[in-house]
Amino acid sequence: MEYKDYYKILGVDKTAGPEEIKKAFRRLARQYHPDVNPGDKTAAERFKEINEAYEVLSDPEKREKYDRFGAQWQQFAQAGGRPEDFQWEAWRAGPGTRYEFRTVSPEELREMFGSTGVFSDFFETLFGGLGRGPEAFREYAYQPRPRRGRDAEHTVRISLEEALRGTTRVLEWEDGRKIEAKIPPGVRTGSRLRLKGQGEPGLFGGEPGDLFLRIEVEPHPRFVREGDDLRLTVPVDLFTLLLGGKVEVTALDRTVKMEIPPETPNRRVFRLKGLGMPRLNDPRQRGDLLVTVEAVLPSHLSQSEKELLQKWRQMR
């Protein structure tokens, strides 16, 4: 049987006070708790050691006995003694010795460790069991509490056209599981869609978590989005701006004719109703298309054209 250094297990000095021991225990218990490390047998064994060390060092009587034992053990070890040759019988706890848990309840320990025994043989030798000893725990099966799976988040990039009409994406988990995610019309950068039950699987029969899709709409070469409205710049020749006429405007999903009144100033903005983006909560409603007209000046003028412009300038 090997000696257990409870001070080393908790990472405290032999002169540590009760508060320091309690603080060290709480920190380590949070780190190695089975709920934080599901299925990790190494962490579970470490958690058992931490609880056992705290059971001894937090109790003045147990700690005093353990310190006396430790002093003798140190002398024995320094003299070159083997663990199996140590006089364990002199320290063996008498029959009927009973100690209560103060770290977690016996029921929780049974749930976490089942029939593997709550305390080590080293502890049982020095302090005895819990009245019935580890054999009493064999009647209990290991039944961990169901735990809900963790939520997951995934970023999905889509085009402005896809945001207009809605789209789908097939997502594949590392375990090969595939999910078809439907993205509704009207989403914008920053939209967060929840897919219930499509996150990480639950543990021990718990329900799965949710999957959240964070949408990023890619920039468009022609349109600028402002909420549910779209902005577009359309080049218009100088003569149409001065004399009036119609120009074709290619919106995101259709082409329309836009009337230009005579003497329209450069950079005027026209609002075309219902040619913007669908509203996320009501796709039947749409924003507007804001069209800025930008004058296109004639180039490569002939001599006759220049003479006409000179006369026009003199008239103005």
pLDDT tens digits, 7-23: 999 999 989 999 999 89
**Cβ atoms within 10 Å, residue 235:** 9
Tell me the CATH number for domain 224-315. 2.60.260.20
Give strand pairing partners of 259. Answer: 246
pTM: 0.53
Confidence of residue 5 (pLDDT cuts 50, 70, 90): confident
Mean pLDDT calculated for residue range 292-308: 94
Domain extents in the chain: 6-139, 152-217, 224-315
Confidence of residue 74 (pLDDT cuts 50, 70, 90): low
Is there a common fold for 6-139 and 224-315?
no
Mean pLDDT calculated for residue range 295-302: 93
Give strand pairing partners of 226. Answer: 229
Specify the pLDDT at position 37.
Answer: 82
Specify the pLDDT at position 287.
Answer: 97
Specify the pLDDT at position 88.
Answer: 52
Q: What is the pLDDT of residues 184-228, one digit of tens each?
A: 999 999 999 999 988 888 776 788 899 999 999 999 999 999 999
Quick one: angle between helices 41-57 and 106-113, nearest 10? 150
Specify the pLDDT at position 115.
Answer: 37
Q: What is the pLDDT of residues 223-262, one digit of tens each?
A: 999 999 999 999 999 999 999 999 999 999 999 999 999 9
Mean pLDDT calculated for residue range 27-38: 82
The DSSP element (H or E) to which 193 belongs, if any, is strand 192-195
Specify the pLDDT at position 43.
Answer: 87
Confidence of residue 91 (pLDDT cuts 50, 70, 90): low
Specify the pLDDT at position 136.
Answer: 34
Q: Decide if pLDDT at 140 tops 50.
A: no
Specify the pLDDT at position 97.
Answer: 41
Length of the chain: 316
Specify the pLDDT at position 39.
Answer: 80
Q: pLDDT exceeding 90 applies to what percent of the chain? A: 47
Could you give the CA distance from residue 273 to residue 290 in angstroms, rounded to a whole number? Answer: 9
Residue 63 contacts residue 53 (beta carbons within 8 Å): no
Q: Which of 30-44, 135-149, 230-244 has the highest mean pLDDT?
A: 230-244
Specify the pLDDT at position 123.
Answer: 75
CATH number of 6-139, picked from 3.40.50.300, 1.10.287.110, 1.10.3720.10, 3.90.1200.10: 1.10.287.110
Q: Decide if pLDDT at 169 tops 80.
A: yes
Residue the block writes with tokens 């080590």: 120
Domain 152-217 has CATH 3.30.70.420: no
Mean pLDDT calculated for residue range 63-74: 72
Confidence of residue 113 (pLDDT cuts 50, 70, 90): very low
Instruction: Please name the residue ranges forming H helices in the chain.
Output: 6-10, 18-32, 41-57, 60-78, 106-113, 121-127, 160-165, 238-243, 303-315
